[in-house]
Amino acid sequence: MISDQFEKRTGIITLSTKAETEQVSRLLFFRESEESMTTDEIRELIQSGDLWKFYKCKAWTKLKTQVLKENHYECAECKRQGIITRYDVGEDGSRRLLSTVHHVCRVRDHPELALSRYYKDYATGEMKENLIPVCKACHNKLHPEKNKSRKTSGFVNEERW
């Protein structure tokens, strides 16, 4: 059941079932504009290998910008370590304001939370942030599976032709 009092006080919605999550997600997040996506559309993108299209939709771009602004473009992971990081540094030394927002609940695993700021941790019963701003270095640490080196070791086999 959705707690109206909690919602009015904090802007956070407490959801008790997956069906409720789906319903509220559709009502609040997915139909802000015609360029938004439903959970089913996101699932289709995942299945077809085109999830990148979700990250280009207007609803995600708008939400990402809001999360970055609210957190003053500071990396949440660095902040936990007592470091304030507002810029990503390129290989050429150029500095760019943070532009990455990380989904704590992976979109591939929980497409119904793709545009949701919060999720309920059923182990503790707490509402937690689903979207956190991170620098590129921290995002790479959070996704080690994406950083597999494409280099092969020099040796392939004995018969190198």
Distance CA 137, CA 30 (A): 30
**What pLDDT shows up at residue 21?**
54
pLDDT tens per residue across span 126-158: 999 999 999 999 999 998 887 765 555 555 555
The closest of 33, 50, 32 to 41, measured between CA atoms, is 50
pLDDT tens per residue across span 42-68: 999 999 999 999 999 999 999 999 999
pLDDT confidence bin for 4, thresholds 50/70/90: very low
Q: Could you give the residue ranges of the DSSP H alpha helices within the chain?
A: 4-10, 18-24, 39-48, 58-70, 76-80, 136-142
pLDDT confidence bin for 9, thresholds 50/70/90: very low
Residue 104 in this model has a pLDDT that exceeds 60: yes
The closest of 91, 80, 104, 106 to 136, measured between CA atoms, is 91
Q: Are strands 87-89 and 95-97 parallel, antiparallel or unpaired?
A: antiparallel
